[in-house]
Amino acid sequence: MTDSAPDTLVTDDMIERKGVWGSERVSPPISESDIRKWAIAVYWPETPPAIFWDTDYATDTRWGSIIAPPDFNPFAWPIVTPKDKPAKADKPKEKPKRRLRGMNGGQVETYGVPMRPGDVITMRNRLRDWEERDTRLGLTLFSYSEMEWHNQDGELVKRRVSTAILY
């Protein structure tokens, strides 16, 4: 007996979660040392640019202070696992109609203001949208998830739209 091809890979749960922002996560304050270590790691074995670790140098730039590389992750190494009940948008409750295979379809990140020492970043996520197409893999779902980071002043730091390919 074989599975018949479904008409859609979209679940009721996806429809319910579409466009709904999940619960927020708040980062610890960013430190100069966090930024310096990050820059050393991604530039290894070469010395990273001074804008990421030299306060005196950074003061004379347009930024007026050390800034973090745009890919810096202030949410790494969380101390506390969120104990709040996940928002409805956080966790899908409904299993797909059949087991799906998945691929990372890539991402687009847009950047607003840079992160600086002392910043506290708030993150939120949502399932933004999707589309289904017939591909060489059969019926294929392209699911677009959106993540936003804002700083303590409410300024947009980063928006990432990730594509998951399910078939």
Partner 1 sequence: MTINVYFEDVNVGDTIPAWSRKTDFMHWNRYAAVNDEFIPIHMDDEAGRAALNEQGAFGMGNLRYAYIVNALQDWIGDEGQIREIGCQFRAINQKNDVLTVTGKVTEKLVEDGEHRIKLDIDVVNQNGDPTCPGHAIVTIPARS
Checking DSSP bridges between strand 138-150 and strand 122-135, what pairing results, if any?
Answer: antiparallel
- Does 33 engage in binding with partner 1 (CB under 8 A)? no
Torsion sign over Cα 96, 106, 72, 62? negative
Helix (H, G, I), strand (E, B) or coil at 6: coil
Residues 6+ apart with CB under 8 A from 167: 9, 100, 101, 102, 135, 137, 138, 139, 140, 141
- Does 29 engage in binding with partner 1 (CB under 8 A)? no
* Cβ distance to partner 1 smaller for residue 33 or 152: 33
- Does 81 engage in binding with partner 1 (CB under 8 A)? no
- Does 135 engage in binding with partner 1 (CB under 8 A)? no
* Cβ distance to partner 1 smaller for residue 37 or 124: 37
* Cβ distance to partner 1 smaller for residue 77 or 136: 77
- Does 130 engage in binding with partner 1 (CB under 8 A)? no
Q: What is the spatial distance between Cα 102 and Cα 155, in angstroms, rounded to a whole number?
A: 34
- Does 108 engage in binding with partner 1 (CB under 8 A)? yes
Helix (H) or strand (E) holding 38: helix 32-43
- Does 26 engage in binding with partner 1 (CB under 8 A)? no
- Does 155 engage in binding with partner 1 (CB under 8 A)? no
* Count of residues in contact with partner 1, rule CB under 8 A: 32
Residue with structure tokens 């840079």?
114
Q: What does the binding site for partner 1 look like in residue numbers (CB under 8 A)? A: 34, 37-38, 40-45, 49, 51, 58, 60-63, 69-71, 73, 76-78, 104-111, 114
